[in-house]
Amino acid sequence: VEEHKNIQANHNFLLNQYKETGVYPINHNYLFEQFSDYKEIFEQIENLITNCDYTLGKSVDEFERKICELTGSRFAVGVGSGTDALFLSLIAAGIQKGDEVITTPYTFYATIGAIVTAGAKPVFVDIRDDYNINTDLIEKAITDRTKAILPVH
């Protein structure tokens, strides 16, 4: 990892490559390009684990407070996984048994698991060539039981 210490984050890398080639470069691993301050990040992770501060601890409280400041929200909840976050967002939106949630079938199983765990039925809308949900097809999938759309990117 040391050899990558001078690499700065380039969040436009994939977009720029698409503009140059016309191809979405989805089968590559550019993770090292996202981290220029990896030593500081690793130190913070080590402290978090050493202090067992990752569940209901001081660090979580601070994270939630900073998210509220950043977003202007009154509340923020740190959760243990993306699956938990999806489920919690559905519950917060009032999703319950018998409701329908529109999503894409081209997703990690956690998306569908969160919908089903909330008691709702997933309704699938196909994807576009860029692998994202086809927004042109969403309206046709809406019924009187549709309560949410859970897009995945």
Specify if 63 maps to a domain: no
Of 111, 101, 112, whose CA–CA distance to 146 is shortest? 101
Binned at pLDDT 50, 70 and 90, residue 3 comes out as very low
* Residues 17, 86 share a domain: no
Say yes or no to pLDDT of 1 above 50: no
Binned at pLDDT 50, 70 and 90, residue 22 comes out as confident
Q: According to the model, what pLDDT value does residue 52 have?
A: 84
Specify if 68 maps to a domain: no
Specify if 152 maps to a domain: yes
> DSSP readout, 67-97?
HHHHHT-S-----SSHHHHHHHHHHHTT--T
Specify if 132 maps to a domain: yes
The chain-wide mean pLDDT, for the chain, equals: 86
Specify if 61 maps to a domain: no
Least-confidence region, from 16-20, 58-62, 116-120:
16-20
Specify if 73 maps to a domain: no
* Residues 98, 30 share a domain: no
* Residues 85, 21 share a domain: no
Average pLDDT over residues 40-47: 87
* Residues 83, 18 share a domain: no
Contact 74, 68 (CB under 8 A): yes
Percentage of the chain exceeding pLDDT 90: 58
Token duo for residue 122: 């997933």
Binned at pLDDT 50, 70 and 90, residue 29 comes out as low
Least-confidence region, from 17-21, 54-58, 67-71, 117-121:
17-21
Of 84, 119, 105, whose CA–CA distance to 150 is shortest? 105
| Non-local CB neighbours of 62 within 8 Å, separated by 6+ positions | none
Q: Report which of residues 60 and 120 the model is more confident about.
A: 120
Specify if 50 maps to a domain: no
Average pLDDT over residues 103-108: 95
pTM of the complete model: 0.66
Specify if 108 maps to a domain: yes
Range of the domain at 124: 79-153
State how many domains the chain has. 2
* Residues 32, 84 share a domain: no
Distance CA 120, CA 116 (A): 5
